[in-house]
């Protein structure tokens, strides 16, 4: 994909919607250039447009990602399936006895994510919280996440605009719960989810609780 088209998709993924003028300013491009790329993205069903009335009352077009545009961002369904299948193979008689369907899914997924956390643990050994946040954000970014993070008075906020498991998480909330547990395991601190894309939010937002003395 042309780099400018990717920039436009990334901007719309982060901000939800934008006009041609907003995209031109944000990306430091000529309006004509932005318009040309939007026409191509619309043709490929990656971007859609809606006519609105601006502050002056004049009509304007606002652009946003179509379903194909969201699907153009990386997902990790294959890795998740492999992890879960490997963990299913390790189940012993009685492991799932007496559990409800959600509890069974949570157990298998939790064990799979714990195995993932152990594999990544050496990358985080000996690091303070700020360094752990940087490393974890980079790991998610390398897998396809669209990550930002910032310091808060209470700790750190991690924002991911591209849920790697969105369609699975929409059907099974255990995936979101497992992701929170994985972050907490990697960061060594309590983590809570403020909002998630699986529930219709524009991004997944997590707060990492710092402890006294954390740097």
Identify which of 154, 144, 138 has the alpha carbon closest to the alpha carbon of residue 206. Answer: 154
89 and 34 share one domain: no
Position 22 scores a pLDDT of 96
Task: For residue 2, list its beta bridge partners.
Answer: none
187 and 173 share one domain: yes
* DSSP code, position 210: P
Residue 214 lies in a domain: no
- Who's near 128: CB < 8 A, 6+ residues apart? 214, 215
Q: CA–CA distance from 144 to each of 16, 20, 77 (Å)?
A: 18, 26, 12
CA–CA distance, 21 with 35 (Å, rounded to integer): 10
CA–CA distance, 52 with 130 (Å, rounded to integer): 43
CATH number, domain with residue 37: 1.10.10.10
17 and 96 share one domain: no
Mean pLDDT taken over the chain: 93
178 and 104 share one domain: yes
Of the residues 71, 86, 103, the one at which a domain ends: 71
Tokens of 122: 């050496």
Of the residues 53, 71, 89, the one at which a domain ends: 71
pLDDT in tens, the chain (215 residues): 789 999 999 999 999 999 999 999 999 999 999 999 999 999 999 999 999 876 667 788 999 999 899 999 999 999 889 999 999 999 998 999 999 999 999 999 999 999 999 999 999 999 999 999 999 999 999 999 999 999 999 999 999 999 999 989 999 999 999 999 999 999 999 999 999 999 989 999 999 999 988 87
pTM equals: 0.85
From the CB of residue 45, how many other CB atoms can be counted at a distance below 10 Å? Answer: 12
93 and 21 share one domain: no
15 and 38 share one domain: yes
Structural domain harbouring 109: 77-209
20 and 96 share one domain: no
């Amino acid at each position: 994909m042309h780099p400018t088209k990717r920039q436009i998709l990334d901007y719309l993924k982060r901000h939800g919607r934008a006009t041609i003028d907003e995209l031109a300013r944000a990306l430091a491009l000529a309006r004509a250039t932005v318009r040309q790329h939007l026409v191509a993205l619309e043709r490929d069903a990656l971007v859609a447009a809606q006519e609105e009335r601006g502050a002056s009352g004049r009509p304007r077009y606002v652009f946003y990602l179509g379903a194909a545009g969201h699907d153009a961002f990386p997902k990790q369904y294959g890795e998740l399936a492999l992890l879960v299948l490997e963990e299913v193979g390790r189940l012993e008689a009685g492991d799932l006895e007496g559990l409800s369907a959600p509890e069974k899914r949570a157990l298998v997924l939790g064990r799979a994510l714990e195995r993932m956390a152990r594999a990544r643990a050496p990358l985080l050994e000996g690091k303070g919280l700020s360094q752990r946040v940087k490393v974890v954000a980079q790991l998610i970014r390398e897998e396809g996440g669209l990550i930002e993070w910032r310091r808060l008075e209470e700790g750190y906020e991690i924002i991911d605009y591209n849920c790697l498991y969105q369609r699975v998480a929409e059907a099974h909330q255990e995936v979101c719960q497992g992701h929170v547990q994985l972050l907490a395991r990697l960061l060594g601190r309590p983590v809570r989810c403020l909002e998630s894309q699986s529930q219709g939010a524009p991004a997944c937002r997590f707060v990492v609780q710092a402890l006294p003395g954390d740097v």
